[in-house]
Amino acid sequence: MSSAWARFALLAALLLAGCEREKRVYSGQPATNPAGELYQENAYDVAQGKRLYTWMNCTGCHAHGGGGIGPALMDNRWIYGGKIQQIYRSIRDGRKNGMPAWKNRLTDQQIWQLAAYVRSMGRYVRKDVAPSRDDALNSGKAESRRERSAPLEPGR
Amino acid sequence: MNWQSALDPHSANARHLADLFWFFTALCAAIWLLVVAALLRAIRHPGLAGEQDPPERQLRKSRIVGALTALTVLILVVFTAASFYTTRSFAWPDMNTLRIKVTGQQWWWQVEYRNHDASQVLTTANEIHIPVGRPVTLELHATDVIHSFWVPDLMGKQDLIPGRTNYLTLQADHAGVYRGQCAEFCGLEHARMAIWVFAQEPSAFEAWRRHALMPNTMPDGGAAAKGAYIFVHRQCASCHAINGSDAAGQTGPDLTHFGARATIAAGTLHNTAANLDRWLADPQAVKPGANMPKVDLSAPDRAALVAFLEGLK
Ligand SMILES: [Cu+2]
């Protein structure tokens, strides 16, 4: 194959990868995503999670990730685990000492989107997937511009 | 109902704008006709190629060109002045009138009647009721991106900008229903972001306001009561509030007196039981991307919710 063709193929692959970046599934969970892993690969889902984070007033306890009444969400310390499935379970079922269960208040898809967004706060998602803008004025760095936190550390 | 048209004004301000439009159109049309006539004449009577005009003819020609240039400048000045004086008066909101806060969000309108007395504050969505013959001041806000409020029969458009308040004065001469529309592209469902202005005789408006302020009474039996239970205990209450129930969500449209509304989802569907069932079965099939998720509900649960919501008159 000539190098011109190789370049063309590379460009096409890059552009197509862009389509996947924010592919939207509006209702329900895609069948190809049984373990929820893919939510954190999708810019649209992460952005929806970011909106829900404010809508459901998560800031009330966790601030913008720095924590307050509840633990910080942007560092590498996770009491109940920092994998997306573990975060999903913390949101869905709640945890003792005050974290409420959201399973009757949000849909399953929304809980996955929130979990994916929480992963983006310490930038445990790809840079091109993490949100780069805020609806409100915000003096902090956008998620996409943050350094990735240290590798996940189990336990306190 | 009036179909929206800026050329069918129903208020003094809209009339000024329509007059301005016709003034521009008439003058520009006249100029265009003159230019075309001059062009036709030039084609009919071409000068000979290479022919030199006598000096007095050259002088006449440059005088004509000079005069026409001056006339063009004059017309532009007149246009600028006319639009300046017409729209200038719109920029000064009257703060002593009825004030309504309108918040644009993807992709619906929240409407809040301001009052110093908190018990008189009234929140609704996608519909504005106003008394005829009285100016009403809208306070325009946005929560996410820029939207634009435009009810062409009543007034020109004004943007809603996150983090900033704009004002717009609305007044209707005749009772009627006027359609409006978001006029600034704001994302996926921009085209399905309509708003309705109901202009009513002052007494009818006051009756509407009194009624709308009252909490809904909760049904005490049958399908509607089951619907009320589902509404409060399922996802609905995280986003929607109903005055009179325990539902107090603040991020979606307030559904108090929802049964009395004309449309569902900012003008997307007529408000009928069948359409509401369709909306609840999957909002994403009706208005893809809208910020209301599909909630898994059985058909009987949906029917109960429909009975409950349509009963909120
Ligand atoms: Cu819009």
Q: What is the ipTM of this complex?
A: 0.79
In a domain, A54, yes or no: yes
Judged by CB atoms closer than 8 Å, whether chains meet at A28 and B239 is answered as no
Please spell the DSSP secondary structure of B48-63, one letter per residue: PTTPPPPHHHHHHHHH
* 8 Å CB contact between A143 and A122: no
Q: Is the pLDDT of residue B49 over 90?
A: no
* 8 Å CB contact between B255 and B292: no
Q: Please, which residues 90-119 of chain A have a Cβ atom closer than 8 Å to chain B?
A: 104-107, 109-110
Q: Which residue has the higher pLDDT, A58 or B89?
A: A58
- Using alpha carbons only, give the angle B128, B132, B138 rounded to the nearest 5 degrees: 40
* 8 Å CB contact between A53 and A87: no
Q: Is the pLDDT of residue B120 over 50?
A: yes
Question: CA B110 to CA B128: how far, in whole Å?
Answer: 10
* Set of chain A residues whose Cβ sits within 8 Å of the Cβ of B251: 55
Question: CA A20 to CA A33: how far, in whole Å?
Answer: 14
Chain B residue nearest residue A110, CA to CA: B293
Domain count, chain A: 1
pLDDT of A28: 66
* Set of chain B residues whose Cβ sits within 8 Å of the Cβ of A26: 284, 288-289, 294
B17-45 burial code (b ≥16 CB/10 A, e <16) = bbebeeeeeeeeeeeeeeeeeeeeeeeee
C-alpha A26 chain-centroid distance: 17
In a domain, A135, yes or no: yes
* 8 Å CB contact between A22 and A44: yes
Question: CA A120 to CA A74: how far, in whole Å?
Answer: 8
Pair of tokens at residue A84: 């997306």
CA of B102 relative to ligand 1 center, distance in Å: 14
Chain B residue nearest residue A45, CA to CA: B289
For A50, residues 6+ apart whose C-beta sits below 8 A from its C-beta are: A117, A120, A131, A143
CATH number at A39 reads 1.10.760.10
Q: Please, which residues 43-72 of chain A have a Cβ atom closer than 8 Å to chain B?
A: 51, 55-56
Question: CA B272 to CA B309: how far, in whole Å?
Answer: 11
Q: Is the pLDDT of residue B302 over 60?
A: yes
In the 8-state DSSP scheme, what is residue B114?
Answer: -
* Set of chain B residues whose Cβ sits within 8 Å of the Cβ of A137: 163
Chain B contact present for A147, CB below 8 A: no
Question: CA B178 to CA B197: how far, in whole Å?
Answer: 5
Q: Which residue has the higher pLDDT, A149 or B264?
A: B264
Helices (H), B151-253: 202-213, 222-233, 236-239
In a domain, A100, yes or no: yes
Question: CA B108 to CA B193: how far, in whole Å?
Answer: 6
Average pLDDT of span B43-65? 83
Judged by CB atoms closer than 8 Å, whether chains meet at B295 and A107 is answered as yes
Residue B242: phi and psi, rounded to 5, are: -135, 120
For B10, residues 6+ apart whose C-beta sits below 8 A from its C-beta are: B2, B153, B154, B172, B173, B174, B176, B178, B199
Q: Which residue has the higher pLDDT, B270 or B54?
A: B270
* 8 Å CB contact between A110 and A100: no
Question: Per mean pLDDT, which range of A97-106, B84-93, B168-177, B243-252 is the poorest?
Answer: B84-93
pLDDT of A32: 66
Chain B residue nearest residue A137, CA to CA: B163
Phi-psi sector, B258: left (phi>0), alpha (psi -120 to 50), beta: alpha
Tokens 């609905």: give the residue. Answer: B236
CA of B282 relative to ligand 1 center, distance in Å: 22
Sort B288 into a burial class: Cβ within 10 Å, 0-12 / 13-18 / 19+.
middle
What pLDDT digit, counting tens, does each position of B156-192 carry? 999 999 999 999 999 999 999 999 999 999 999 999 9
CA of B145 relative to ligand 1 center, distance in Å: 9
For B89, residues 6+ apart whose C-beta sits below 8 A from its C-beta are: B13, B16
What pLDDT digit, counting tens, does each position of B214-228 carry? 999 999 888 999 999
In a domain, A34, yes or no: yes
Judged by CB atoms closer than 8 Å, whether chains meet at B296 and A107 is answered as yes
Judged by CB atoms closer than 8 Å, whether chains meet at A26 and B296 is answered as no
* 8 Å CB contact between B115 and B121: yes
Q: Which residue has the higher pLDDT, A19 or B296?
A: B296
CA of B150 relative to ligand 1 center, distance in Å: 10
| Nearest by CB: B289 against A26, A28, A56 | A26
Q: Is the pLDDT of residue A56 over 60?
A: yes
In the 8-state DSSP scheme, what is residue B140?
Answer: E
* Set of chain A residues whose Cβ sits within 8 Å of the Cβ of B295: 107
Which residues lie near ion ligand 1 (Cβ < 5 Å)?
Answer: B 147, 182, 186, 190, 193
pLDDT-derived band at A156 (thresholds 50, 70, 90) equals very low
Q: Is the pLDDT of residue A30 over 80?
A: no
In a domain, A151, yes or no: no
Between A and B, how many CB-CB pairs are < 8 A?
Answer: 40
Beta strands of chain B (E only): which ranges? 98-105, 108-113, 122-125, 127-131, 136-142, 147-150, 158-160, 166-170, 176-182, 194-200, 263-264, 269-270
For B288, residues 6+ apart whose C-beta sits below 8 A from its C-beta are: A26, B188, B189
In a domain, A99, yes or no: yes
Which residue range is the domain that position A54 belongs to? 26-145
In a domain, A127, yes or no: yes
In a domain, A123, yes or no: yes
